[in-house]
C-alpha cells in the first residue's frame, strides 16, 4: 500500500482484550462474529452475549439461547422470555412456542399459539414492548455504534498527521 492510500477499513480478525473486528475473540469482543466474555455482535457467543443471534449464559438479543435468555423474537433455555419461546424449564412464550428444530428449518407451521383473553393480550403486549425497549438499549444500540463508528469494525480510525 502506498503512502496516502487507504485500506478497506474492515478489521477482519482481532484477538485479545476488547478486540474489535469482523471476527473478534477475547474478553469484551465486538464484531459481526464475537466469541468471549461479554460478547457483542451480530452472532455473539459468550457468558454475557448480546446482539442479534446470541448464545450464552446470559443471552439478550433477537434470537437468544442460553441459561437466562431474553429474546425480542425467540428464546430458549433454562429461563427464557420472548414473544415466541423454544424449549425452556422456566419462562414463557408470550404468544406461543416454536421448537428450535422448526425455527432452524423455517417451519412456522409448527408454531403453537397461546390462548389468551383481551386483558392477557394487553399485558403480553406491554411486556413485549418492555422487552423490545430493553433489548434496543442493552444490545442493539451499542452493537450498531460499535459496528459503524469511526474506529469501529467497518471504519478505520483517522490517520495521524505528520
More confident position, 88 or 130? 130
User: Cβ of 86: how many Cβ atoms within 10 Å?
Assistant: 25
Task: Answer yes or no: is pLDDT of 8 > 80.
Answer: no
Check if the beta carbon of residue 46 is closer than 8 Å to that of residue 36.
yes
Q: Which one has a higher pLDDT value, 154 or 8?
A: 154
The answer to whether the CB of 29 falls within 8 A of the CB of 17 is no
Residue 143 has which C-alpha cell? 452493537
* Cell 430493553, located at residue: 134
pLDDT (tens digit per residue) in 118-162: 998 999 999 999 999 999 999 899 888 888 888 777 777 777 777
Of 144, 155, 150, which is closest to residue 51 (Cα–Cα)? 144
Q: Where are the domains positioned within the chain? A: 13-148
User: Using CA atoms, how far apart are residues 107 and 127, in angstroms rounded to an integer?
Assistant: 26
Question: What whole-number distance in Å separates Cα of residue 71 and Cα of residue 62?
Answer: 5
Q: Which residue has the higher pLDDT, 109 or 48?
A: 48
- So what's the pLDDT on residue 5? 46
Q: Which pLDDT does position 103 carry in this prediction?
A: 74
| Residue 94 grid cell | 408470550
CB 157 within 8 A of CB 150: yes
How high is the pLDDT of residue 7?
Answer: 52
What does the pLDDT read at residue 122?
A: 93
The pTM of the full predicted model, rounded to 2 decimals, is 0.81
Q: What is the per-residue pLDDT across 19-61, written as a single tens digit (0 to 9) for each?
A: 888 899 999 999 899 999 999 999 999 999 999 999 999 999 9
Amino acid at each position: 500500500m502506498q503512502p496516502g492510500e487507504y485500506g478497506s477499513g474492515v478489521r477482519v480478525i482481532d484477538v485479545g482484550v476488547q478486540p474489535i473486528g469482523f471476527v473478534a475473540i477475547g474478553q469484551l469482543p465486538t464484531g459481526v462474529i464475537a466469541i468471549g466474555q461479554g460478547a457483542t455482535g451480530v452472532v455473539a457467543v459468550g457468558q454475557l452475549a448480546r446482539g442479534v443471534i446470541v448464545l450464552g449464559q446470559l443471552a439478550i438479543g433477537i434470537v437468544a439461547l442460553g441459561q437466562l435468555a431474553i429474546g425480542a423474537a425467540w428464546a430458549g433455555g433454562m429461563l427464557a422470555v420472548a414473544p415466541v419461546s423454544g424449549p425452556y424449564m422456566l419462562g414463557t412464550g408470550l404468544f406461543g412456542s416454536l421448537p428450535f428444530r422448526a425455527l432452524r428449518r423455517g417451519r412456522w407451521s409448527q408454531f403453537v399459539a397461546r390462548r389468551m383473553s383481551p386483558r392477557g393480550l394487553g399485558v403480553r403486549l406491554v411486556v413485549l414492548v418492555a422487552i423490545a425497549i430493553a433489548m434496543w438499549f442493552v444490545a442493539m444500540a451499542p452493537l450498531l455504534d460499535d459496528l459503524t463508528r469511526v474506529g469501529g469494525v467497518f471504519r478505520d480510525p483517522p490517520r495521524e498527521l505528520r
